[in-house]
Amino acid sequence: MRFSAILVAAGSSSRMGTGKSKVLEYIDNKTVIRYTLEAFEKTVSVNSVTVVCRPEDMELLRLESSGLKKPVNFVTGGKTRQQSVLRGIEAMPDCDYCVIHDGARPLITPLLIDRVCSDAILHGASAAAVPSKDTCKIVDAEGFVKQTPERSALMAVQTPQVFQLALYKLALSDAVRAGMDFTDDCQLIENTGRPVHLITGDYRNIKLTTPEDFIIARALLAEKKERTSMRIGQGYDVHRLAEGRKLILCGVEISFEKGLAGHSDADVAAHALSDALLGAAALGDIGKLFPDTDTAYKGADSMKLLEEVCRRVRACGYEIGNVDITIVAQQPKLAPYIGDMRKGIAAACHIEAGQVSVKATTEEGLGVSGQGQGIAAHAVCLLTTMN
């Protein structure tokens, strides 16, 4: 199933009273839209994002999407929310489901986005919502109460709202034909008589509308930082040096008269790092995951195994903060290879080279590495939770 997101950010932000688009306001060191984009970057379901915005904000918004791996494109919005979403639908890449989200809900979590996406597969139309904490009143134009709906039946609907694309397009053309313009995307589907399912959202997933919402968002983000848990891992490996083998360290072939012996390519540094990552996530070790009794791993590219380790670590909800490797070898000189090693590790782990450190040292002629019998590697890493 292909899910493509539409971030609605074309409003005038008039209730903010600053004249500036609220999605370009900063909360601590990041803009509102950057928080939102980063949440979508980390979802498992969503493949691409289309931001619907005012023409005057497009260039600044484009800068906010730099460095993200998932494609982000931009399109100018219409006069109303419904018209803006329509522009987004027309501009988005081919997909099965559209994921509509307010650009001004920066506290959305990747997990909630993925949960609504899964629910939409079951029901065709799904949205996040929370039970109303306030009793709500229906009033007339003069402010007199006409009716009080039963609070226990009231849900405050949030975004994301996820729809089967064909269903949404049909509902949209129905509304356009009938001259109706809705402020909420679920209403479009309701208007066709089709069911819309709600799942429990998150009270933290607030929509920034008025200036005091920024005070609340700042407090929630500070609290979230405190909640973010970190896990540390360490790994160690050593392999014997042997004639007639290639020397591969961090995926880089090093020119040397000997290489490391082993069942796989014997990349001792990639092994130490894999064990550090598995250790941090308490997922065992590479010996258990890729046993040397299994012929499938004979001569295996250890960087491919490292990539698989990273995939498993992410599947448990962790993100990689940084990794640090120390290779212990008397010979050869590794300094000329360090840059390529860092790039290779970064690519295999899907992180930036700035998050990767590779160092080399000798043991002053002492012990296994010092006497040239083998090469050892130590690695540490830090994992953070994704939410």
Tell me how far, at minimum, the Cβ of 263 lies from Mg ion, in Å.
8
Smallest gap, in angstroms, from Cβ of residue 375 to Mg ion? 11
In the bound state with Mg ion, the residue whose beta carbon lies nearer, of 217 and 283, is 283
Considering beta carbons, is residue 81 or 258 the nearer one to Mg ion?
Answer: 258
- Total residues at interface with Mg ion (CB under 5 A): 2
User: Smallest distance from the beta carbon of 377 to Mg ion, in angstroms?
Assistant: 9
Stretch 18-37: interaction string toward Mg ion, x if CB under 5 A? --------------------
Residue with tokens 């490996």: 237
Q: What is the pairing mode between strands 247-249 and 145-147?
A: unpaired
Pick 125 or 270: Cβ nearer Mg ion: 270
Nearest approach, Cβ of residue 237 and Mg ion (Å): 4
CB of 24 or CB of 300, closer to Mg ion? 300
Residue 307: CB minimum distance to Mg ion, A:
16
Which window, 94-102, 125-133, 268-276, 315-323, contacts Mg ion (CB under 5 A)? 268-276
Q: Is 378 in the site for Mg ion (CB under 5 A)?
A: no
Cβ at position 248, least distance to Mg ion in Å: 12
Cβ at position 300, least distance to Mg ion in Å: 11
Residue 271 near Mg ion by CB under 5 A: yes
Of residues 87 and 271, the one with the C-beta less far from Mg ion? 271
Query: Interface with Mg ion by CB under 5 A: which range of 74-82, 271-279, 292-300, 361-369?
Result: 271-279
User: Closest CB to Mg ion belongs to which residue?
Assistant: 271
The backbone torsions φ and ψ at residue 71, rounded to the nearest 5 degrees and listed phi first, read -65, 135
Tell me whether residue 271 or residue 314 sits nearer to Mg ion (CB atom).
Answer: 271
Q: Which of residues 165-194 bind Mg ion (CB under 5 A)?
A: none
Q: How far is the CB of 267 from Mg ion (least distance, A)?
A: 8
> Considering only residues 228-257, where is the footprint of Mg ion by CB under 5 A?
237
Distance CA(349)–CA(309), nearest Å, equals 9
> Of the ranges 66-74, 98-106, 242-250, 270-278, which one interacts with Mg ion (CB under 5 A)?
270-278
Phi and psi, residue 263, nearest 5°: -70, -40
Closest approach of Mg ion to the CB of residue 302, in Å: 8
d(CA 73, CA 52): 9
Nearer to Mg ion, 119 or 265 (CB): 265
Question: Which range touches Mg ion (CB under 5 A), out of 29-37, 213-221, 263-271, 335-343?
Answer: 263-271
* Shorter beta-carbon distance to Mg ion: residue 64 or 237: 237
Region of 139 (left: φ > 0; alpha: ψ -120 to 50; beta: rest) is beta
Site for Mg ion in 127-146 (CB under 5 A): none
Alpha-carbon span 22 to 207, nearest angstrom: 11
Of 185 and 237, which has the nearer Cβ to Mg ion? 237
Q: What is the 3-state secondary structure (H, E, C) of the chain?
A: CCEEEEEEECCCCHHHCCCCCHHHCEECCEEHHHHHHHHHHCCCCEEEEEEEECHHHHHHHHHHCCCCCCCEEEEECCCCHHHHHHHHHHHCCCCCEEEEEECCCCCCCHHHHHHHHHHHHHHCEEEEEEECCCCCCEECCCCCEEECCCHHHCEEEEEEEEEEHHHHHHHHHHHHHCCCCCCCHHHHHHHCCCCCEEEECCCCCCCCCCHHHHHHHHHHHHHHHHHCCEEEEEEEEEEEEEECCCEEECCEEECCCEEECCCCCCCHHHHHHHHHHHHHCCCCCHHHHCCCCCHHHCCCCHHHHHHHHHHHHHHCCEEEEEEEEEEECCCCCCHHHHHHHHHHHHHHHCCCHHHEEEEEECCCCCHHHHCCCEEEEEEEEEEEECC
Of 121 and 242, CB closest to Mg ion: 242
Q: Give least dist CB 239 to Mg ion, A.
A: 6
Binding site for Mg ion (CB under 5 A): 237, 271
